[in-house]
Structure 1
Amino acid sequence: MTDSFTIRTIEAFCYRYPLVTPVVTSFGQMLNRPAVFVRVVDEDGVEGWGEAWCNFPAPGAEHRARLVNEVLAPGLIGRKFGGPAQAFEALTVGTEVLALQCGEPGPFAQAISGIDLALWDLSARRRRLPLWRLLGGQSSRIKVYASGINPGGAAQTAEAALKRGYRGLKLKVGFGADVDLANLASLRSIVGKGMLAADANQGWSVEQALKMLPQLAAFDLRWLEEPIRADRPREEWRRLRAGATMPIAAGENISSVDGFEEVLAENVLGVVQPDIAKWGGLSLGAGLASDILKSGKTFCPHYLGGGIGLLASAHLLAGAGGEGWLEIDANDNPLRDLFCGPIVNVKDGAVELSEAPGLGMVPDLSRIERYRS
């Protein structure tokens, strides 16, 4: 088949899985796990699947699904494109004024990203290549770590993750020094010399972060993630870098080419974590991953959602190469586990992607119909 395609249909599907134990962050909690899956079918009957970021605010998933179905899809159906990047550009440029007018550049970027991921899956299927190979990958094996470890029950969650094959952990911090330090000590003991990171979810001021840094030094953290707000002046981030013994990580809340160019040009972040379902899709994410590695930093895709976006993030990491880890949420979520293919099979801290075309998986949505929103 040729690389070009004509889009026949685009449809977004919204789901919510209720949680027994909420996912807790320093800025709030998730009482359920939403997912917006996107299916694109071309005129040859080839389909592709993507996912749009939709974690916050709580009603946001339904809104993003409607943006795909009612605003974005009509602008692409029937049009021919030479590749996903052309469609991404057409959607982005075509909705810039509308996103500005309604004050919603984030939701538009996320909905566009979901379509973009689906188009890359479709393109790889047309080429009969696994997506990671289409993205230039040489190896299907990637390292992973267990993320989303709440302050309550952290030790139990960590121990369960190790039993499932993980060798790396990331703890949520920002809940008071006593709680944070006790949990870090517990997790360091559990994981031994394995990878341990901490995520403050933008929870501290620069003064609070600087006060915490000496106390965190004892835990040999692989990185400290988003210790302060993503939009704080770069001078504050430079102060953190100067006072830190561990690498500083961020990227999930950077949502512009200029923003990433700025952090790649300076020696502040050691780990850069774009979220391809939140901004940029693979059309921007693939080049960004390459630029991160060229800058000498570690590329670790951020992800906390359903299985399709997680699988796409895995293919990007395998395609880019490097020594980074894939983030996998440790909390219960069938919207993730049923649709992430080989990612559920963690062995000795790693997973192996398949040689099947595209993402290597076509979701059976009937399995989650009871969670349809």
Structure 2
Amino acid sequence: MHIIRAESFICRAPIDTPVVNAFGAMTERVAVFLRLTDADGVSGWGEIWCNFPTIGAEHRARLFDTFIAPRLLGQHIDNPAAWWAETDRALHLWGLQAGEPGAFSAALAGADLALHDLAARRAGLPLWRWFGGPGGHGGPVPAYASGLNPDTQALAQVEAARAAGHRAFKIKIGFGEQRDIATLRPVFAARQAGERVMVDINQGWDLRSAARMVGVLGEFPLTWIEEPLAADRPAWEWAQVAGASAAPLAAGENLRGALEFHQALAGNHLGFVQPDCCKWGGASATLPVARAVVGSGRAYCPHFLGGGIGQLASLHLLAAVRGPGLLEIDANPNPLRSLLAGPVLRVADGMVAVPEAPGLGIEPDAASFGRYVVARTAREA
């Protein structure tokens, strides 16, 4: 792949109802999409994680434009994973010096996804096959509706997601015991046979609160309890909470680096592990982590709550790795997701079909989301 053009698209879409979690709220939907084009005119697409805080979108796009695009333009890249590893090493000191290794990691992740999409399109393969997925036709993968707001919105959103084909639902809690219980009881009273319910605290508890609240939540047959503690709390705190909980714990969206994931697996306190391929690692680093997760007997559940490019990349990664994991699909309105992923991302009886067309399975059209683009940069070799 001889890369001759690199583009970034910063997108902002207004929403009527904020997406609420324990540390704040998203009052708009944002995305940074990337497009890489080679000398043969083939393009690949990626996405940079930037959903919180939303003001970070412009900064992360500029990091890509300034530090990463020059490492792509004019280069002949045959092995995206080798390119990611080399570039990750080069960016490491810059991230440390700037005090923001996460922003550099996310910008690099988006570029890596675009390279893999480009390579898969050139090979005429869907991404999941390019990633080394199982032979034969790729069967559907299980999915769940995510981002469900607390209070009375939760039941209404569960009912809407059920009508849209979902059979598993994840609800935001962490707003105080009384409010959390009042959110969950109506949901479980209306739960139908075979449905699964998860909760997400978004790192909102300290150790004492988490150890107590997981016991309180034992009233409900939860599939998992997500991020009851801050991601950087020591392993012994996570182990203590896991030991007090009837439901398995889930985390991973805020882990960065293969070492952190392998330490989490060695700690044996997570039942569900959730790397976000747009936040760290792209496909090159996420794939080996995901395979290690499944190989250890845990479930790989890709985290994602952004635009359509990252959503489809997450689907292909899960389809390649498989195991007992579920695909996260944000149930809140987001045109930056639906305009791109909508044509192929359809839920039926809790399952999502895996695209068979080359690359992501769609040919993104920048004009389709053009009205939401607030800034666009193009660089050429």
Aligning the two structures, in what range does the TM-score lie when normalised by the shorter sequence? over 0.9
Check whether the contact 1:272–1:297 (CA below 8 A) recurs between aligned residues.
Answer: yes
Amino acid at match of 2:49: W
Question: Matched residues in 1 for 2:313 and 2:291: separation?
Answer: 16
Tell me the TM-score normalized by structure 1: 0.96
1:96 Cα shift?
Answer: 1.9
Question: Matched residues in 1 for 2:267 and 2:229: separation?
Answer: 17
Question: Matched residues in 1 for 2:47 and 2:294: separation?
Answer: 25
Task: List runs of 5+ in structure 1 lacking aligned partners.
Answer: none
Aligned twin of 1:91: 87
Aligned twin of 1:165: 165
Amino acid at match of 2:161: A
Amino acid at match of 1:303: F
Alpha-carbon deviations, 1:126-174, whole Å to 9, x = none? 1111111122223241100000001141111111000000000000000
Aligned twin of 2:317: 316
User: Pick from 32, 39, 43: which aligns with 1:43?
Assistant: 39
1:91 Cα shift?
Answer: 2.0
Amino acid at match of 1:292: V
Q: C-alpha root-mean-square deviation of aligned residues, in Å?
A: 1.2
Question: Matched residues in 2 for 1:266 and 1:238: separation?
Answer: 7
Aligned twin of 1:175: 175
Task: List runs of 5+ in structure 2 lacking aligned partners.
Answer: 375-381
Amino acid at match of 1:245: A
Q: Secondary structure at the match of 2:190?
A: helix
Question: Matched residues in 1 for 2:24 and 2:10: separation?
Answer: 22
Query: Matches of residues 1-373 of structure 1 in structure 2 within 5 Å?
Result: 5-138=1-134, 139-152=138-151, 153-193=153-193, 194-373=195-374
Check whether the contact 2:235–2:267 (CA below 8 A) recurs between aligned residues.
Answer: no
Check whether the contact 2:344–2:361 (CA below 8 A) recurs between aligned residues.
Answer: no
Residues 124 and 112 (structure 1 numbering): CA distance in 2 closer, same or farther, change over 3 Å?
same
Q: Secondary structure at the match of 1:360?
A: coil
Check whether the contact 2:345–2:353 (CA below 8 A) recurs between aligned residues.
Answer: no
Question: Matched residues in 2 for 1:296 and 1:342: separation?
Answer: 33
Question: Matched residues in 2 for 1:219 and 1:62: separation?
Answer: 41
Q: Secondary structure at the match of 2:186?
A: helix
Question: Matched residues in 1 for 2:343 and 2:318: separation?
Answer: 14
Question: Matched residues in 2 for 1:213 and 1:285: separation?
Answer: 29
Aligned residues: 369
Higher mean C-alpha displacement, 158-167 vs 212-221: 212-221
Check whether the contact 2:2–2:75 (CA below 8 A) recurs between aligned residues.
Answer: yes
Q: Secondary structure at the match of 1:338?
A: helix
Question: Matched residues in 2 for 1:189 and 1:9: separation?
Answer: 54
Higher mean C-alpha displacement, 187-196 vs 72-81: 187-196
Check whether the contact 1:171–1:197 (CA below 8 A) recurs between aligned residues.
Answer: yes
Alpha-carbon deviations, 1:81-129, whole Å to 9, x = none? 2211122123212222222211121110000000000111111111111
1:342 Cα shift?
Answer: 5.0
Check whether the contact 1:308–1:340 (CA below 8 A) recurs between aligned residues.
Answer: yes
Question: Matched residues in 2 for 1:189 and 1:265: separation?
Answer: 37
Question: Matched residues in 2 for 1:183 and 1:84: separation?
Answer: 45
Tell me the TM-score normalized by structure 2: 0.94
Aligned twin of 2:379: none
Check whether the contact 1:170–1:196 (CA below 8 A) recurs between aligned residues.
Answer: yes
Question: Matched residues in 2 for 1:276 and 1:83: separation?
Answer: 18
What is the percent sequence identity of the aligned residues? 48
1:14 Cα shift?
Answer: 0.6
Check whether the contact 1:220–1:246 (CA below 8 A) recurs between aligned residues.
Answer: yes
